[in-house]
Structure 1
Amino acid sequence: MITNQPIGVFDSGYGGLTVLKEIVRKLPQYDYVYLGDNARTPYGTRSFDTVYHYTLECVQHLFAMGCRLVILACNTASAKALRNIQQLDLPRIAPDRRVLGVIRPTTEVIGQYSRTGHVGILATTGTVTSESYVVEIAKFFPELTVVQEACPMWVPLVENGEHLSPGADYFVRQHLDRVQQRDPELDTLLLACTHYPLLLPKIQGFTSPAITILSQGTIVADSLADYLNRHPEIEAQCSQGGKLAFYTTDSAENFERQASLFWGEPIQARKLTLSI
């Protein structure tokens, strides 16, 4: 286990590794702990209360590991749990610690990428149902037209290693055709699930080159760098040793095998037993 005070990164499974990878690329000097709740994934189809309970439990474990700052690198957790954790739990259990999500950083900048003012959100059913992106985008870019498309088969395709197979074409094209038919003027598509960047080659193959496709990793990494710069009191509490540790609530061996798809190289993981 990393000692000191690493930055915690949480996801319901593997997708958050695509965000962590960009964060480490941008800010390699810090220590990081990644926790994937693989034993209880997927979160996308679960209720608000269940996602909130699971997410809070994992955040508390990251706090117990010394994390002063935790990033919810999971759109479903950010949509269904972040606000309650920030407003109800942190003041009570950890007023000196911070939990951030991936939705706010993305919605703060998405309007800068669109020329037509029409954007599409590709996400899990849970994220779409929450309306979090629609609500948050309206705060920063009220003039934007936003259409959402739930893609429930995309995460299983990725996690089963079928994301680049010919069999994935039908499910990828189906949702891309739907969202473009609903708004022919859209010129920006947000991959609002951290698994979806692995489908990027197919997504690009079924969309016009004129459509900008956004992944969240680099956006979140840039936002975190800005956050730490604006909050030196938090930054000072983040240890700098360039260390990485990976934890899963399921089989460490399975995690290591699957994580290589997202991380791009072999990793070593440990199993964490939830006891809260």
Structure 2
Amino acid sequence: MQPIGIFDSGYGGLTVFRSIADQLPQYDYLYLGDNARAPYGNRSFETVYEYTLQCVEWFFEQGCPLVILACNTASAKALRNIQQIDLPRIDSEKRVLGVIRPTAEVVGQYTHTKKVGVLGTRGTVNSGSYLKEISNFYPDIEVFQHACPLWVPFIENGDYQDEGIDYYIRHDLELLFAQSDDIDTVLLACTHYPLLADKIRKFLPDKDITLLGQGNLVAESLTAYLQRHPEMETRVSKGGTKRFFTTDSVADFEENATRFFGEAVRASHVHLEL
């Protein structure tokens, strides 16, 4: 088997995996959550790169010819080095893709004011990756960023439906829109954040503002990628299987993964040196 690998530091990537599996159900998939070392958002570039590369190498050992980093922080802090430095050394025929470029490629289709807001972890925001990528595709779009460091802990702890997080969502949105009243598109640049979409919409200053999650965008980009690269598409096995792995407690992963993936999952443990 040569499944497609899907990686995240924890659970958030399951929202992307859900969209990919819905749009491309014919392929085999492996999902790995590095829950033992999550969250990645506040870790250094060097640490995120080290952890991500270790997980990518694990996918390769399982036979994956293609790995999707369904994690904005890993995409921002590790993807470029892995693509440019490690893949030529490991196997020049394997591929690792991220979630930032597919999002940046299409965000211009959603904004009329050319003002886009980006909400993400500190790691993603501080990397400036969205500023660079969106500018490459749409030089006329102005991007306003804001880091929301408390959102992921609420989500990971299962408290994202409680009223306790409402204050932080309202406050963070106020800080984002204080940068520009003309923002008409808000990008959720963390794969955890779709679980907060209903609450975020409630506190947006205008109901006509577009709220963009990444799941469908990444799934559509992967579909197009496989169509453009038949040499990769023919390598990926097609059995319609989905297997889940975690570096932490299997019981905890299975309990929490359901709300991200939308169905019950069964997982296995992977031991990686911390």
TM-score over 0.5 for the alignment? yes
Secondary structure in 1 matching 2:37: coil
C-alpha deviation, 1:275, in angstroms: 4.8
Q: Which runs of 4 or more aligned residues in structure 1 lie more than 3 Å from their structure 2 counterparts after TM superposition?
A: none
Q: Give the conservation status (yes or no) of the 8 Å contact 2:18–2:262.
A: no
Can you list the C-alpha shifts for 1:110-152, whole angstroms capped at 9, x where unaligned? Answer: 0110010000000000000000000010000000010000000
Identity of matched residues, %: 59
> 1:52-201 to 2 correspondence within 5 Å?
52-201=49-198
Match of 2:257 in 1: 259
Task: Look up the equivalent residue of 1:10 and give its one-letter code.
Answer: F
Unaligned runs of 5+ in 1: none
1:45 corresponds to 2:42: yes
Q: Give the conservation status (yes or no) of the 8 Å contact 2:250–2:269.
A: yes
Among 211, 214, 217, the alignment partner of 1:216 is: 214
Segment drifting more, 95-104 vs 260-269: 260-269
C-alpha deviation, 1:264, in angstroms: 1.4
Match of 1:236 in 2: 234
Among 19, 27, 37, the alignment partner of 2:24 is: 27
| Structure-1 separation of matches of 2:57 and 2:136 | 30
Distance 1:275 1:166, change over 3 A: closer
Q: Give the conservation status (yes or no) of the 8 Å contact 2:87–2:95.
A: yes
- Equivalenced residue count is 273
1:12 corresponds to 2:21: no
C-alpha deviation, 1:20, in angstroms: 0.3
Task: Look up the equivalent residue of 1:249 and give its one-letter code.
Answer: T
Can you list the C-alpha shifts for 1:80-103, whole angstroms capped at 9, x where unaligned? Answer: 000000000000011110000000
Match of 1:250 in 2: 248
C-alpha deviation, 1:166, in angstroms: 0.7
Can you list the C-alpha shifts for 1:15-68, whole angstroms capped at 9, x where unaligned? Answer: 000000000000000000000000000100000000000000000001111100
C-alpha deviation, 1:245, in angstroms: 0.2
C-alpha deviation, 1:227, in angstroms: 0.1
| Structure-2 separation of matches of 1:166 and 1:44 | 24
Among 259, 264, 268, the alignment partner of 2:266 is: 268
Secondary structure in 2 matching 1:114: coil
C-alpha deviation, 1:181, in angstroms: 1.5
Task: Look up the equivalent residue of 1:203 and give its one-letter code.
Answer: I
| Structure-2 separation of matches of 1:135 and 1:265 | 36
Segment drifting more, 120-129 vs 259-268: 259-268
| Structure-2 separation of matches of 1:181 and 1:261 | 32
